[in-house]
Chains A and B, each alone.
Chain A
Amino acid sequence: MTMRTEQLSISRRGFLRTLGFATAAGLIQACSPAAPAPTAPATAKPSGTSAAPQPTAAQAAPTVAAANPAAQPTTAAVATAVPVSASAPQQAPAAGKPGGTLVAGWDSDPGALDNNVDRGAVTRTLLHMVYDRLVERDISLKADFPPFSPGLAMSWDISPDAKVYTFKLRPGVKFQDGTPCDAEAIKFNIDRNWDPNHPFYSKTGAGANALGYKDLDKVEVVDSSTVRVTHKSPFADFLNVLAFGTYSIGSPTQIQKVGNDEFGNQPIGSGPFKFVSRESGVKLVFERNPDYWGGAPPLDGFIIRPLPEAVARLTALETGEVDWVNSVHPDSIDRVRANPNLTIDLAQLPNTWGYIPNHRADPTSNVKVRQALNWAVNREALCKDLMRGLAVPSTSPFAPTGTFGYDPDIKGYGYDPAKAKALLAEAGFGDGLKLHFQIPQGAVGSPFAVEMNQYLQQNFKDVGIDVNIETLEAQIMQTNLSKGMPPDVHAYSVGFSVDEMVNLQRQFRSDLVPPNGNTNPGWIENADLDALLKQALQTPNEDQRKKIYFQVQQQAVDMAAWVWVCHQKGARAWSKKVQGFVNPNSYMFTFKTVTMG
């Protein structure tokens, strides 16, 4: 390209004038109302609707018992009553007037609302509001642990070998597009996630729901309100799995109309709220489902506003830009408590945070070293000083509240540096030892993983264990989990959601070590544990199964399978205008009881 002298065809002033006009035009265009975002299709109003009364806490649990009087086992099937938590769940507080729109600030932007794909806890919470499942954990109640309740299935029979489940469906339920939610619809949804020959088979759904569906033998429509599901081998925990968000039931008509790829953007379920529209990064809009079988929710609807930064989220709540936030940073807890216009509540989340030691490599293959690591951790101080009450000490796999599986009789670990040193000496490390831990930066396990590890590093140092911490990006950490620990890594810092005892299967079974699974990367291979876990899967009786899992937990604690540190809490806060919100001990929550005062 050469430079030469010539007369300009456009003057400088002309150019600047044009540039100014173009910029102004661009800004004006940006200010004009945006083109409407893709909305959910208009739903046909079903005729002859009747609003069923919303079940109260007193009604939810006995419903199945009424359908299966006295829960008498038969020779062919075991009619199962709904287990409830030991303490009586509290009903939602007194509500204000119906109507109004709740604006909620969330710490991340939810993903597409596919009913069978897991895009994280934030998205799964919305699945709980747009869709229903065959069985539910009732998150509209404040209880130690969200109690089991009927969902689309009012009752069920389980065969004595825990292979065959027969579900009796709730009559008259319709999807938000007016089509019936019957046995055919249930079969469609299940088949879609396990039968490769199904025209709408989803490999992603099959992968995400393999725990519940991989071992299916057949799914039968007995009649329009009865579905029978048969497994190839005993699966006593099937109901617990079905209550999970990705086992939601979507409208087959809508799936057939828009296809698998698009269904997450135009979701149709049978839940209390309907999806309306999304502006990516700006808002998601939901409106009331007036024909919801459990009674139309009082709110007109709600709007999710993604607010990833903690200070901005709290500021939005304090200034009234949003009415509710799903997460408050520990450093801001006191500030929110001091604000008379706000309410804050801590939910015990069903998670366990700690370390998975390397059971194959020295020195953590030595049980005394693992036990020493457990005794070295000052859990109380960590929960009080660093986490400001946003965690409770963990001495065993399950939290005291929020999880169905906590055994108060389990003898776990406390804080005893002297005992830790003695155990290390017995193991031949009286002069101390060096270990290498890998930890995630955020997301996997805890948003505060780095700070917690730095705190614990000092605890370990106090007993002579010099821990070198290697911090990894969240997805790299997840990749490492799937590969398992190499010999030069002695522990992974992890946090798992452990709300059901069935999670113990994944944590401690030797056939699920990598590359077969991600949840036993520490190579825990113990024949006694395997036998107990296998026995649990084959025990349909809830009480008996629980006892087996208690044995699993005690054995895991005795062999120091993990270094348990804490169970975290979730701080949710809202304006005093928001009434009727129940903060359940769960990652999930619902707005179906909320009113705006």
Chain B
Amino acid sequence: MRAYILGRLASAIPVLFGVSIVIFLLMKLIPGDAAQVLAGPSATRDEVELIREDLGLNEPLYIQYGRWLARAMHGDLGRSIELRAPVTTMVIERFKNTAILAVTSMLLSIVLGVSAGVISAARPLSAFDRLAMIGDLFGNSMPTFWLGLVLILTLSLGLGWFPSNGMSDIRGNGGPFDLLSHLALPAITLAGVSSAVIARVTRSSMLEVVGREYVTTARAKGLSERRLIWGHALKNAILPVVTVIGVQMGYLLGGSILVETVFSWPGLGLQLYRAISSRDLPLVQGGVMLVSVVFVFLNLAVDLLYAILDPRVRYS
């Protein structure tokens, strides 16, 4: 197992290297650069060139990339052009905020999605099953920003139950309850889509398992329905669900830009969007690299989880 883990980590290095080159080249291909943004719409060519020189953007591409890579190998991802702050510190801080939101909404999604999927599969075509599938269709179809705005208008503005923006009360002292109250609406918004996806996959996987012979045999031998479904069938149906959870988690950790914008949640998605718009290349590269590293570890974690959940799976 140890060798497997080390091998996977080693194979991630060329992947990350490739990602860094692709991001660098993509940003260079997009018209416009940070010098033009800083110079503003009234600038002359000479003025833009001066700024471009100051930022090192007039050097050959391989030198620009080489400089960035040499610094990145030492953990220095450069400085944001717009905020002039170290990129490493910025992206880690923002990623932490995104992770809080992502983990919370994923936990919510798992509880809702798996429960709904299991119950639907245990009672196919029942009223609950039909209701769950309608909810699933709704969750898959509706835009997340729309749900977010509806929640703000009803639960924040209308009923005053939750704050509408940010991670903390700007006038308060913070604390866990403050964070939880701010987390509620964005987490519910994100969980709306993820739980729908998880519910659908759980239901399909469970329906396949409950139709197996050993389940029928166990039922015939007098095993309680609850123990049968939750204790045995779910364990055998869980692997595809874990895969989907891993994918959804990766998507959430990449920064859900729409939800972060609606709720002004200071996460990585919103930061990356702004960085791309302002052509802040160091910040884009740093942010995408961090997300890539997270994806690598997440994929590894999902694979290891297979081994934990299914004794038949072993790696070497």
Contact = CB atoms under 8 A, between A and B. Distances in A.
Contact of B166 (A108, A282, A506, A514): A282
A481 B40 CA distance: 11
A112 B82 contact: yes
A307 interface: yes
Nearest to B274: A109
A207 B84 contact: no
B290 to A, nearest CB: 15
A255 B316 CA distance: 57
Nearest to B46: A210
B41 A307 contact: no
Given A27-B100, A203-B54, A204-B54, A118 B314 contact: no
A308 B314 contact: no
A323 to B, nearest CB: 10
Nearest to A263: B84
Contact of B42 (A279, A475, A496): A496
B264 A306 contact: yes
Interface in A511-536: 512, 514-519
Interface stretch (B117-125, B152-160, B190-198, B204-212): B152-160
Interface in A482-517: 482, 494, 496, 503, 506, 512, 514-517
Interface in B265-316: 266-267, 270-271, 274, 277-279, 307-309, 311-316
A441 B311 CA distance: 54
A319 B41 contact: no
A171 to B, nearest CB: 33
A312 interface: yes
Contact of A503 (B42, B261, B311): B42
Contacts of A211: 42
B264 A319 contact: no
Contacts of A119: 38, 82
B149 A203 contact: no
B176 interface: yes
Contacts of A479: 31-32, 36
A5 B49 CA distance: 64
Contact of B165 (A204, A316, A474): A316
Interface string A1-22: 1111110111010010000000
A315 B96 contact: no
A262 interface: yes
Interface stretch (B12-20, B167-175, B216-224): B167-175
Contact of B44 (A308, A313, A318, A517): A517
B215 interface: no
A282 B47 contact: no
B228 interface: no
B103 A23 contact: yes
B166 A28 contact: no
B1 interface: yes
Contacts of B309: 12
A151 interface: no
Interface string A365-392: 0000000000000000000000000000
Contacts of A57: none
A119 B279 CA distance: 13
Interface string B77-116: 0010011110000100110110110011001000000000
A464 to B, nearest CB: 32
A120 to B, nearest CB: 8
A432 interface: no
A33 B174 contact: yes
Nearest to A305: B170
B170 A283 contact: yes
A282 B165 CA distance: 10
A337 B266 CA distance: 30
Nearest to B307: A8
B171 A103 contact: yes
A319 B315 contact: no
Nearest to A307: B264
A279 to B, nearest CB: 7
A303 interface: yes
B48 interface: yes
A577 to B, nearest CB: 13
Contacts of B277: 443, 473-475
B36 A478 contact: yes
Given A204-B38, A280-B271, A264 B312 contact: no
B39 interface: yes
B5 to A, nearest CB: 11
A312 B164 contact: yes
Nearest to A5: B314
B43 interface: yes
Contacts of A202: 54
B21 interface: no
A552 B232 CA distance: 85
Contact of A117 (B38, B90, B316): B38
A109 B153 CA distance: 23
B7 A1 contact: yes
Contacts of A27: 100, 103-104, 176
A118 B82 CA distance: 10
B157 A319 contact: yes
Nearest to B169: A321
Interface in A146-186: none
A31 B175 contact: yes
Contacts of A112: 82-85
B230 interface: no
A597 interface: no
B44 A28 contact: no
Contacts of B138: none
Nearest to A35: B93
A117 B264 CA distance: 26
A237 interface: no
A503 B42 CA distance: 9
Given A12-B309, A28-B176, A208-B51, A261 B79 contact: yes
Contact of B270 (A281, A503, A517): A281
A330 interface: no
26 contacts: A1-B316, A2-B314, A2-B315, A108-B274, A204-B50, A207-B39, A207-B46, A210-B47, A214-B46, A280-B94, A280-B266, A282-B166, A305-B165, A305-B166, A308-B270, A309-B264, A311-B153, A312-B152, A312-B164, A312-B262, A321-B166, A475-B37, A480-B31, A516-B45, A519-B41, A519-B42
Shortest 4 CB-CB distances between A and B: which pairs?
A281-B266, A203-B54, A475-B32, A207-B50
Interface of B: 1, 4, 7, 30-32, 35-51, 53-55, 79, 82-85, 90, 93-94, 96-97, 99-100, 103-104, 107, 149, 152-153, 156-157, 160, 163-171, 173-176, 179, 261-264, 266-267, 270-271, 274, 277-279, 307-309, 311-316
Given A309-B261, A475-B32, 5 more contacts: A264-B84, A280-B93, A281-B266, A475-B30, A479-B31
